[in-house]
Amino acid sequence: MKYQTPVALAALLLAVGGGYWLGKAKVPEGTHSAGAGDTAMAAAPATAAAPAVAAPRKLLYYRNPMGLPDTSPVPKKDSMGMEYIAVYEGEDEGSAAGEVKISTEKVQKLGVKTEPAALRELARQVTAAGRVEIDERRLHNVAPKFEGWVERLHVNATGQPVAKGQPLFEVYSPELVSAQREYVVAAKGVAALKDASAEMQSGMRQLSEASLARLRNWDISEEQIKALAAGGEAKRTLSFRSPVGGVVLEKKAVAGMRFMPGEMLYQIADLSAVWVLADVFERDIAQVKVGQKVRLAINAYPEKSFTGTIAYIYPTLKAETRTIPVRIELANPGGLLKPAMYASVELAVGARDKVVTVPVSAVIDSGTRQIVLVEKGAGRFEPREVKLGARSDDYVEIREGVKDGEPVVVAANFLIDAESNLKAALGGLTAAASPAASAAPKAVSHQAAGTLDAVDAKAGTVTVTHGPVASLKWPAMTMDFMLANPALAEKLKPGSGISIEFVERKPGEWVITRMEPTTATKPMAPAAAASDTAPHKGH
């Protein structure tokens, strides 16, 4: 007892002192106690004013670094040795909404740049190669409507300019002489029968008018007809005159030659206005409209610029070049533009009204759909499927998917694709687009143990004989699986015991996400394996 008393006394003092301290600590702020309690209360506000220590983030799980739908509550590595990525509270919101998350450090290293979608008037230059052609409406053939001979040429060179009504050649024709004589006789008869009966005057007048119409139908000029009526003598030869002004493109007439009715002797073209036929590529034709103004450059006159108007878009496409001819009309003062000259055509096309646009570099085109990454916050990006419209050299119209002012990634978007789980996010985007798909359950992983029977490295598949799978209510069977990564089977040989984890990527397609060797394989009854293999082979 003598040795226990000091110990008991010390314990009692400690208990009393501890109780006293705890009582002081629980005194509400604003109240005072006597003595040493004042000192404790004075220190309390200073303690409350000190900055609070940041609470640690709550770890939710670890996700597969390759974007596969498997997670782990503890740190682990995938079959390629890559560490699973930690997901903390608040960070899984982006994934649930179909977003992509990348750390701020990686965003800076990748050089990600954003630019807001904006309303713009899209305009770009459509260029096309063209050639100068003769206006078909200004092309004339000189072909007499009677038989005759060329007595003399007044215009005897190709390329010679002629004026309307200018004599081209002297022609002799027995039919023409006969028609002249008929007209002379009829004209004299009308004058001689002016005192005769009305019936006789009418008959002679009809004969005179028929002879005159015959001469006019043969393109004999009014001047020559008046001279014939005034002189009263039929002429052996008459001058055949040019019906239009222009340039002689072709001359077949030769002095002394005989020609038949309808035979072309001259071809004359009016080159005061010409056409340019431009070959516009198929992808640009929707932007080309009749009435648009175009600018033309001619190699022969580099210092000059010509302006024309689109008059017609041809209805056919040239299959060899995938181009559509477009006719451009323009004036040709001074005859500078020669037929068959090459021309470079520039046409400004674009939308009349402002439309939502993003830079061309912002669009990720997979061939089947177009994706734009929209920045939702620091390191958070939402992939959106968009519908594109008109394009300019630098921008493209967004008809659906992005609104005016939303920031989109214009640089390093493909690197974001490589560094993130973009494919998984896009898969969620596709599922959200369909009500039936959105109601479908998320992919669930399943486990099984068995034997590796065969590996098809080229097809990326393996054949596995596995035991029962409780989560799917499968019996033991042999079936083919796809590999999420070919490296899963690199170190395994047929006949090895394995444990696998797999998911259903789409109906009927089972993909192994994890495959590891086991020390022993649970044997399967040959009868059971045989009975189950046939109906489930290639499940």
In this structure, whether the domain defined by 446-536 belongs to CATH 3.30.70.60 is answered with no
The string of pLDDT tens digits covering residues 485-525 is 888 888 888 999 999 999 887 777 888 988 989 864 444 44
Q: Nearest to residue 408, comparing CAs of 118, 110, 114? A: 114
Secondary structure element (H or E) that encloses residue 266, with its range? strand 266-269
CB 416 within 8 A of CB 381: yes
Q: Indicate yes or no: pTM above 0.85.
A: no
Residue 353: exposed, middle, or buried by beta-carbon count in 10 A (0-12, 13-18, 19+)? exposed
Please say if the pLDDT value at position 270 is more than 60: yes
Fold classified for 273-350: Elongation Factor Tu (Ef-tu); domain 3 (2.40.30)
Average pLDDT value for residue range 375-395: 83
Residue 403: exposed, middle, or buried by beta-carbon count in 10 A (0-12, 13-18, 19+)? exposed
Amino acid at 13: L
Average pLDDT value for residue range 51-63: 69
CB 381 within 8 A of CB 409: yes
Task: Tokens for 168, please give them.
Answer: 């081209």
Query: Alpha-carbon torsion 377, 383, 387, 392, what sign?
Result: positive
The string of pLDDT tens digits covering residues 171-219 is 998 888 888 888 888 777 777 777 777 777 787 778 878 888 888 888 8
- Please tell me the distance from the alpha carbon of residue 346 to that of residue 295, in angstroms, as a whole number: 5
Could you tell me which residues come within 8 angstroms of residue 45 by beta carbon, excluding any fewer than 6 positions away?
29
Collapsing DSSP states into helix, strand and coil, what is residue 436? helix
Pairwise pLDDT comparison (385 vs 507), residue with the higher score: 385
**Residue 3 confidence (pLDDT):** 43
Residue with the two structure tokens 């020669």: 338
**Residue 424 confidence (pLDDT):** 46
Query: Alpha-carbon torsion 203, 207, 212, 214, what sign?
Result: positive
**Residue 46 confidence (pLDDT):** 41
- Please tell me the distance from the alpha carbon of residue 462 to that of residue 451, in angstroms, as a whole number: 11
**Residue 415 confidence (pLDDT):** 64
Collapsing DSSP states into helix, strand and coil, what is residue 133? strand
The string of pLDDT tens digits covering residues 437-453 is 444 444 578 899 999 99
Secondary structure element (H or E) that encloses residue 415, with its range? helix 413-419
Strand bridging mode 118-120 / 461-466? unpaired
- Could you say which DSSP state residue 27 is in? S
Average pLDDT value for residue range 292-300: 91
Task: Tokens for 285, please give them.
Answer: 């034709």
Contacts made by residues 524-533, CB under 8 angstroms, sequence distance 24+? 524/450, 524/451, 524/465, 524/467, 524/476, 525/476, 528/475, 528/476, 529/465, 529/476, 529/477, 529/478, 532/475, 532/476, 532/477, 532/478, 533/477, 533/478, 533/479
CB 253 within 8 A of CB 169: yes
Please say if the pLDDT value at position 376 is more than 60: yes
Residues above pLDDT 70, as percent of the chain = 75
**From 125-134, 227-236, 360-369, the region with the lowest mean pLDDT:** 227-236
Please say if the pLDDT value at position 10 is more than 50: no
Pairwise pLDDT comparison (103 vs 373), residue with the higher score: 373
Per-residue confidence at 266, pLDDT binned at 50, 70, 90?
A: very high
- Please tell me the distance from the alpha carbon of residue 513 to that of residue 478, in angstroms, as a whole number: 18
Residue with the two structure tokens 């560490």: 83
Q: Which CATH number fits domain 101-122+353-438: 3.10.20.30, 3.20.20.70, 3.40.50.720, 2.40.420.20?
A: 2.40.420.20
* Rg value, the chain, Cα: 49
Average pLDDT value for residue range 277-297: 90
**Residue 228 confidence (pLDDT):** 76
Per-residue confidence at 39, pLDDT binned at 50, 70, 90?
A: very low
Strand bridging mode 59-63 / 85-88? antiparallel
- Please tell me the distance from the alpha carbon of residue 63 to that of residue 75, in angstroms, as a whole number: 9
**Residue 489 confidence (pLDDT):** 86
Please say if the pLDDT value at position 238 is more than 70: yes
**From 31-35, 116-120, 322-326, 464-468, the region with the lowest mean pLDDT:** 31-35
Per-residue confidence at 352, pLDDT binned at 50, 70, 90?
A: low
- Please tell me the distance from the alpha carbon of residue 528 to that of residue 534, in angstroms, as a whole number: 11
CB 258 within 8 A of CB 306: no
Per-residue confidence at 457, pLDDT binned at 50, 70, 90?
A: confident
Task: Count other Cβ atoms within 10 Å, centred on residue 94.
Answer: 19
Average pLDDT value for residue range 113-125: 84
Average pLDDT value for residue range 406-427: 65
**Residue 216 confidence (pLDDT):** 84
Secondary structure element (H or E) that encloses residue 86, with its range? strand 85-88
Q: Could you write out the DSSP letters of every residue in 144-201? A: -SS-EEEEEES--STT-EE-TT-EEEEEE-HHHHHHHHHHHHHHHHHHHTTTS-HHHH
How many degrees, rounded to 5, is the angle at CA 79 between CA 74 and CA 81? Answer: 75
Task: Tokens for 42, please give them.
Answer: 């004075």
- Please tell me the distance from the alpha carbon of residue 275 to that of residue 135, in angstroms, as a whole number: 5
- Please tell me the distance from the alpha carbon of residue 409 to that of residue 413, in angstroms, as a whole number: 6
Mean of all residue pLDDT scores within the chain: 77
Please say if the pLDDT value at position 69 is more than 80: no
- Please tell me the distance from the alpha carbon of residue 484 to that of residue 465, in angstroms, as a whole number: 18
Average pLDDT value for residue range 259-275: 94
Per-residue confidence at 473, pLDDT binned at 50, 70, 90?
A: confident
Please say if the pLDDT value at position 57 is more than 80: no
The string of pLDDT tens digits covering residues 138-163 is 999 999 988 999 999 999 999 999 99
**Residue 487 confidence (pLDDT):** 82
